[in-house]
């Protein structure tokens, strides 16, 4: 009789531990960059003047915080963290000081959900503005033409 009770107790405790683990487990349903707050269209390339936003969708409510680490091409790291107290499952996160840290190149973003410890990562690229490149080409062509003209008529 005692062995049977112990077996039932072990089964009940095992079942409760699995159930409790699944209740508090949290995972990312979506984790990628978008062009604006409110958008869910994935975007991986941004112009130098654009502001990248991180779209985060959780698989359920229950998280208390989302911690993100944004790593710039020069390896400088910036953090953007959000405390959750509203029960939503969709969030848009960006760096508050984006205008002072933006740089051309490949960026990485790592995310961590608290509690639970689920992780995700994504990356995006910042490219120079086409206007800057166009002005450079036009300026170079003008200087080249002037040099050619000066040599030809001198």
Per-residue pLDDT reduced to its tens digit, 117-130: 899 999 999 998 77
| Domain residue ranges of the chain, discontinuous segments joined by + | 27-153
Length of the chain: 154
| Residue 129, helix vs strand vs coil | coil
Per-residue pLDDT reduced to its tens digit, 10-42: 455 555 454 444 455 678 999 999 999 999 999
Cβ 106 vs Cβ 45: under 8 Å: no
Give CA–CA dist 60/22, Å, rounded.
Answer: 11
Instruction: Give the fold, CATH level 3, of 27-153.
Output: Immunoglobulin-like (2.60.40)
pLDDT of residue 22: 45
What are the distances in angstroms from CA 4 to CA 15, 68, 72, 92?
17, 49, 60, 53
Buried (b) or exposed (e) across 55-81, using 16+ Cβ within 10 A? bbebeeebbeebebebbbeeeeebebe
């Amino acid at each position: 009789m005692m062995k049977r009770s112990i077996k039932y107790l072990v089964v009940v405790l095992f079942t409760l531990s699995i159930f409790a683990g699944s209740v508090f487990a949290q995972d990312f349903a979506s984790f990628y960059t978008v062009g604006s707050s409110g958008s869910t269209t994935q975007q991986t390339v941004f112009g130098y003047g654009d502001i990248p936003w991180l779209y985060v969708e959780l698989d359920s409510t229950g998280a208390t915080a989302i911690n993100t680490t944004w790593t710039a091409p020069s390896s400088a790291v910036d953090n953007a963290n959000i405390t959750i107290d509203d029960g939503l499952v969709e969030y848009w996160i960006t760096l508050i000081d984006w205008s002072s840290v933006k740089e051309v190149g490949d960026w990485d973003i790592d995310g961590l959900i608290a509690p639970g410890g689920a992780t995700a990562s994504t990356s995006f690229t910042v490219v120079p503005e086409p206007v800057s490149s166009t002005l450079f080409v036009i300026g170079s062509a003008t200087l080249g033409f002037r040099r050619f003209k000066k040599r030809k008529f001198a």
